Amino acid sequence: MEPSHIRNFSIIAHIDHGKSTLADRVLEMTHTVSERDMVDQVLDSMDIERERGITIKSQAVCVLYRADDGETYQFNLIDTPGHVDFTYEVSRSLAACEGAVLVVDATQGVEAQTVANALLAMNANLEIIPAINKVDLPAADPERVRSEIEDGLQIPADDAVLTSGKSGLGVHELLEAVVKRIPAPTGDASAPLKALIFDSYFDAYRGVVALIRIVDGSIHAKDKVRFMQTGNECEVEEVGVRRPAETPVDELTIGEVGYLVTGLKDPHLVKVGDTVTLAKKGAEEPLPGYRDVKPMVYTGLFPIDADQYPALRDALDKLSLNDPALIWEPETSQALGFGFRVGFLGLLHMEVVKERLEREFGLDLIATAPSVEYHAYLTDGTDLMVHSPQDMPDPSSLDHIDEPFVVADIIVPPDYIGAVMELTTSRRGEFKNMQYLSTTTVELKFEMPLSEVIMDYFDQLKSRTKGYASLDYDVCGYHPSDLVKLDILLAGNPVDALSTIVHRDAAYNRGRALAERLKGIIPQQLFEVPIQAAVGARIIARQTVRAKRKDVLAKCYGGDISRKRKLLEKQKEGKKRMKSIGNVEVPQEAFMAILAVDDE
Amino acid sequence: MIEGLYLHIPFCAKRCAYCDFATEACHDDARMDAYIDGLSLAIRRASRAGLLGSIKTIYLGGGTPSYLGTRRLNSLVYLISLSINLENVEEFTVEANPDSIDERMVKDLFALGVDRFSLGAQSFDDEVLSAYGRIHDARQIERAVTCIKGRVENFSLDLICGGPGQSMQSWEDSLERALASGAKHISIYPLTLEEGTPLFAQVEAGTCAPPDEDAEADMMERAGEVLEAAGMHRYEVASYAYPGFESRHNSSYWSGVEYLGLGSGAASMLSCEDYRACIDAGLFAPDFGCDLSKGAARVRVECETDTTAFNESLGAPHVQVETLTDAQAQLEDLMLGMRKSSGVSLEQVHHAAAIVPEVSGVFTSLEERGLVAEKQGRYVPTKRGWLCGNEVYGAIWGLA
């Protein structure tokens, strides 16, 4: 296809603004997917994505569109995730595009991720076409949304397209706008091949498959290619485009987006963000790659059954192939045995990964309370990274400790400013500024510790603003904090997996709340189980799970025997889901209890 | 050899608030007549097939057998006396509720061979009785006891502790009055909340407090003290008796003895051979899903609960069948044995360890945890082991 007839674009939006549904309509209108094969949210291929109605991975698909001018255009459409955790995926996708459709819900208006994603697109110098979606809903207010886009984002919205992903309204106008407003890709067809790898996945039969965008030159099956950053080489087994089923083509040329089958069996040989060129007479300079993504939240993942440890390692290995944000290292816990300390972009990312590990790989896992990366400076002049409460140095050897702070960007209706202030300052947030996006929407900026954000802050924010608030955050640096390690002792023994790092001022309340919550979670045992919260040697809270006095199936005659035996078998299954620590049986939820502690 | 016979009468005047047994409130005479006809046919078939030649104990339970009335009970028990040689029967129990037993019934049943009654008293506190949804009061219990004692000295009372609003004083009073009634045997049950019962719904709705495990534990312990002080001994988790008045029929459930259960929802424990013989005799419909080709140490059978299935014209009832391997049967015997004060012998554990080696370790660890004690060559439950019996049974059955 002539580059002048190619349009590469992404659809970006805040979560739930109808981006994937709108993408579905585009596929339908361009007859890429027959109605027979139309499943809701075609581009969301993971079970978890469809169930939760969110997009996690970027997806790329190639469609042909016959425009009103009579010409046929090739659209390469890249769907992107909307959640704050997956910003990195979005920026990866944008690097392969010339334009972006910014979808804004006509009933919700501009929200935090709308702002964040629009900024990413502007930074990538993309042409932005605003689309005000869900205009057929009774609560839709396109005029208000239009002014929010103009005032809040400084994007002209006069010619914003009004759409409905549900009915297909405005989709034709949107496609025409893509043709007219998004620039065609430029590149040098005669220069040596330069293609950007913006995603990849592993196929058991074909090895690593890379999703690429051609910048210069062209690529064909049987070409010998080199990955410029890693230096690895391979022979191209196949190139093609996704419509959305993978369809081989003879050649991919400038501006085109497609896939490349490498046949490489080791996932680590191909790196997302790398540049592909020809092995002989290749390009000299690689394309600018991606900045390496940094995980922000760390948690311990432990198999309930120790035999699943190798399976967990393999599963993490496979998942991390197209999820460069996922990093891990082995971790040993006295309480939980062998496992991994795993780094994530955020809590949703963590939840999704845990769920995929359990569902797709059949693992039973315990996740410990999430933590952030602290920088500890010791009195002897050395310093270390603390990813886990277990690594927290002894207070006597500690000079000071820094924790990561974020700028939290919250968008709410003005009625809830007070509620947001109250919650955020109670979480050590410092108010920075406030800006009205329109009369009904206001943007608040706070600086606050990341550790406070990952402690159910978002849930609290949602519940205190009746679901209206949206949140985006970005790490802005490290500042010293007075932090202590809060330990939990069960039956007198410290349980390493229940320790957390907290601010000294919050330790007492957190300790008390956590002990109380654990009391509700740990079932009665044959003996009394004291639960203590301690900072250093000082016990700051105590609760007791009283001993179980009675647990007996009293009536057991003829027919009861089979029934009661089955009951015992059920009890045994329940026990299997618990972890024996010392001689105390601890349910999985206990390790996440810290997250849901309301310490007020 | 089938030594126990259980006959189930699935009818009551009214279902109690806590009850989830196979029973129904029934006011349809024709339906009850048809059921008795069907049950009688099953007894005749079993007898003709020679399956009842070794019966030592008979138990007519429910539901409420006394609710059938004297006429139906007489005809059923008469049929039993023709089908089984009662000379060899050591114990023949009929369950009764205080509101549906009278002097006539006791005299007739005694004349036909019944020698033990089990009376559902549950409490001597009228308020507690009403919370349980019982349709009788304490006075009726005493009248029923007088009727029974007119012919039979061997009778048992059931008592339930931990009822809504029940105080320790009310419980102690019930224990004293049960002893004073002259009962030779008393069964003590803590109230359990079963899904689908009216009581469960009340607790869910918040109109009734859930049973308090600690209060129940206190009451169970108090029962032990009061009844033992009076000379009774606890021979099983829930059963107290004066020496010599332990229920032989119930004991067979915990001793690996074969028993046949007939009637809606009734359960049997049989050898493979006897199970096959029961099918041949038309007592149970064959279960084609059950593969006995590899043999089984024991077969547990449960009849469907549809009462009309016992109507003569409908033939043999469908059953649920469960087969146990030798190892499972031995573990089950150990588990059930530990319900009794006599526990299990070290030899029995040793014998089971030949096929399930871990079993020795389980007993050692139960002993270490204070749930089991070793006494004169036997493992017996401790007081703790009674109250937290599920820990003991679960540990043993967990090996199966």
pLDDT tens, position by position, A469-499: 888 888 889 999 999 999 999 999 999 889 9
Determine, for residues A549 and B254 on separate chains, whether the beta-carbon distance falls below 8 Å.
no
H or E element that contains A512 = helix A504-521
Residue B61: beta bridge partners?
Answer: B8
Q: How many residues are there in chain A?
A: 600
| Amino acid of residue A482 | D
* Residue tagged 């010998």 (tokens): A224
What's the pLDDT at A290?
66
Quickly count: other Cβ atoms within 10 Å of residue A51's Cβ. 10
Distance from CA of A489 to the nearest CA of B (A): 22
Query: What is the edge-to-edge ordering of all strands in the sheet holding A72-79?
Result: A59-66, A72-79, A6-13, A99-105, A127-133, A161-162
Distance from CA of B369 to the nearest CA of A (A): 9
Measure the CA–CA gap between B146 and A176, rounded to whole angstroms. 97
Residues on chain B touching A565 (C-beta within 8 angstroms) = 332, 335, 397
Measure the CA–CA gap between A169 and A165, rounded to whole angstroms. 7
Give the strand pairing for B155-161 and B116-122.
parallel
Minimal-distance CA residue of chain A relative to B305: A559
Measure the CA–CA gap between A592 and A498, rounded to whole angstroms. 9
Measure the CA–CA gap between B261 and B42, rounded to whole angstroms. 10
Query: Domain B2-251, what fold?
Result: TIM Barrel (3.20.20)
Determine, for residues A548 and B388 on separate chains, whether the beta-carbon distance falls below 8 Å.
yes
Average pLDDT of B74-99? 96
Across the interface, of A549, A556, A571, the residue whose CB is closest to B213 is A549
Confidence of residue B255 (pLDDT cuts 50, 70, 90): very high
* Residue tagged 């059931």 (tokens): B158
For A150, the token pair is 């103009």
Across the interface, of B213, B261, B393, the residue whose CB is closest to A550 is B213
Measure the CA–CA gap between A57 and A213, rounded to whole angstroms. 17
Measure the CA–CA gap between B313 and B319, rounded to whole angstroms. 17
Measure the CA–CA gap between A561 and A255, rounded to whole angstroms. 73
Measure the CA–CA gap between A143 and A106, rounded to whole angstroms. 9
Instruction: Name every residue whose Cβ is closer than 8 Å to that of residue A381 and which is 6 or more positions away in sequence.
Output: none
Question: How many angstroms separate the Cα of A481 from the Cα of each of A349, A373, A410, A451, B130?
Answer: 27, 13, 24, 11, 64
Q: Work out the percent of chain A whose per-residue pLDDT is above 90.
A: 42
Residue A500: beta bridge partners?
Answer: A486
Average pLDDT of B182-202? 94
For B28, the token pair is 């349809």
Q: Is B390 in CB contact (< 8 Å) with chain A?
A: yes
pTM: 0.69
H or E element that contains B366 = helix B358-368
For B230, the token pair is 């009076």
H or E element that contains B119 = strand B116-122
Q: Is B192 in CB contact (< 8 Å) with chain A?
A: yes
Determine, for residues B213 and A557 on separate chains, whether the beta-carbon distance falls below 8 Å.
no
Q: How many residues are there in chain B?
A: 400
Residues on chain B touching A583 (C-beta within 8 angstroms) = none
Across the interface, of B189, B217, B261, the residue whose CB is closest to A555 is B189
CB B53 within 8 A of CB B5: no
Range in A268-272, A475-479, A516-520, B98-102 with the lowest mean pLDDT: A268-272
CB B278 within 8 A of CB B270: yes
Question: How many angstroms separate the Cα of B326 from the Cα of each of A313, B255, B268, B354?
Answer: 41, 15, 18, 11
Quickly count: other Cβ atoms within 10 Å of residue A191's Cβ. 13
Give the strand pairing for A275-278 and A327-333.
unpaired
What does the pLDDT look like over B358-395, one tens digit per residue?
999 999 999 999 999 999 999 999 999 999 999 999 99
Across the interface, of B250, B387, B393, the residue whose CB is closest to A550 is B387
What's the pLDDT at A599?
45
Q: Rg (Cα) of chain B, in Å, rounded? A: 21
CB B40 within 8 A of CB B73: no
Determine, for residues B393 and A554 on separate chains, whether the beta-carbon distance falls below 8 Å.
no
CB B262 within 8 A of CB B21: no
Mutate to test the interface with B, among A549, A560, A567, A572 (most CBs of B within 10 A): A549
Confidence of residue A115 (pLDDT cuts 50, 70, 90): confident
Measure the CA–CA gap between A96 and A535, rounded to whole angstroms. 51
Measure the CA–CA gap between A526 and A520, rounded to whole angstroms. 16
* Residue tagged 């003991």 (tokens): B392
Minimal-distance CA residue of chain A relative to B396: A568
What's the pLDDT at B301?
94
Angle, in degrees to the nearest 10, between helices B389-397 and B326-337: 170
What's the pLDDT at B310?
60
Average pLDDT, chain B: 93
What's the pLDDT at B276?
93
Confidence of residue A36 (pLDDT cuts 50, 70, 90): very low
H or E element that contains A304 = none
Measure the CA–CA gap between A270 and A275, rounded to whole angstroms. 10
Distance from CA of A541 to the nearest CA of B (A): 25
* Residue tagged 């080791």 (tokens): A266
Q: Is B234 in CB contact (< 8 Å) with chain A?
A: no
HEC string of A556-590 equals: CCCCHHHHHHHHHHHHHHHHHCEEEECCEEEEHHH
What's the pLDDT at A43?
54
What does the pLDDT look like over A73-111, one tens digit per residue?
998 887 666 555 666 666 777 778 899 999 999 998 888
What's the pLDDT at A369?
85
Range in A121-130, A493-502, A577-586 with the lowest mean pLDDT: A577-586
What's the pLDDT at A87?
62
- B6: phi then psi, degrees, rounded to nearest 5: -115, 130
Residues on chain A touching B391 (C-beta within 8 angstroms) = 526, 551
What's the pLDDT at A274?
85
Measure the CA–CA gap between B251 and A442, rounded to whole angstroms. 76
Domain ranges in chain B? 2-251, 337-397
Determine, for residues B269 and A555 on separate chains, whether the beta-carbon distance falls below 8 Å.
no
Measure the CA–CA gap between A553 and B64, rounded to whole angstroms. 22
Determine, for residues A548 and B389 on separate chains, whether the beta-carbon distance falls below 8 Å.
no
Say whether pLDDT at B98 is over 60: yes
- B397: phi then psi, degrees, rounded to nearest 5: -70, -25
Q: Is B34 in CB contact (< 8 Å) with chain A?
A: no
Measure the CA–CA gap between A593 and B3, rounded to whole angstroms. 55
What does the pLDDT look like over B283-302, one tens digit per residue?
998 887 777 877 789 999 99
Distance from CA of B229 to the nearest CA of A (A): 22
* CA angle at A447 for the pair A444 and A451, rounded to the nearest 5°: 120
- Pairs across A and B, CB distance < 8 A: 93
Confidence of residue A237 (pLDDT cuts 50, 70, 90): very high
HEC string of B232-292 equals: CEEEECCEEECCCCCCHHHHHHCCCCEEEEECCCCEEEECHHHHHHHHHCCCCCCCCCCCC
Q: Rg (Cα) of chain A, in Å, rounded? A: 27
Measure the CA–CA gap between A163 and A173, rounded to whole angstroms. 9
Dmax (CA) of chain B: 58
Mutate to test the interface with A, among B95, B191, B214, B399 (most CBs of A within 10 A): B214
Q: Is A572 in CB contact (< 8 Å) with chain B?
A: yes
Measure the CA–CA gap between A342 and A352, rounded to whole angstroms. 13
Give the strand pairing for A127-133 and B11-12.
unpaired
Nearest Cα residue to A478 out of A400, A374, A381? A374
Measure the CA–CA gap between A561 and B269, rounded to whole angstroms. 10
Q: Is B253 in CB contact (< 8 Å) with chain A?
A: yes
Q: Is A549 in CB contact (< 8 Å) with chain B?
A: yes
Residues on chain B touching A546 (C-beta within 8 angstroms) = 214
What's the pLDDT at A84?
55
Burial of B231 per CB tally in 10 Å (0-12, 13-18, 19+): exposed
CB A64 within 8 A of CB A73: yes
Residues on chain B touching A568 (C-beta within 8 angstroms) = 390, 393-394, 397-398
Instruction: Name every residue whose Cβ is closer than 8 Å to that of residue A10 and which is 6 or more positions away in sequence.
Output: A77, A78, A79, A80, A90, A93, A94, A97, A99, A100, A101, A121, A126
Across the interface, of A549, A553, A560, the residue whose CB is closest to B389 is A553
Nearest Cα residue to A454 out of A440, A475, A481, A478? A475
Measure the CA–CA gap between A515 and A543, rounded to whole angstroms. 6
Measure the CA–CA gap between B303 and B266, rounded to whole angstroms. 5
Instruction: Name every residue whose Cβ is closer than 8 Å to that of residue B75 and which is 6 or more positions away in sequence.
Output: B36, B40
Cα of first residue to Cα of last residue in chain B, in angstroms, is: 25
Range in A146-150, B139-143, B269-273, B305-309 with the lowest mean pLDDT: B305-309
Mutate to test the interface with A, among B390, B396, B399 (most CBs of A within 10 A): B390
Nearest Cα residue to A389 out of A403, A399, A379? A403
Across the interface, of B188, B371, B394, the residue whose CB is closest to A571 is B394
Distance from CA of B285 to the nearest CA of A (A): 18
Q: Is B336 in CB contact (< 8 Å) with chain A?
A: yes
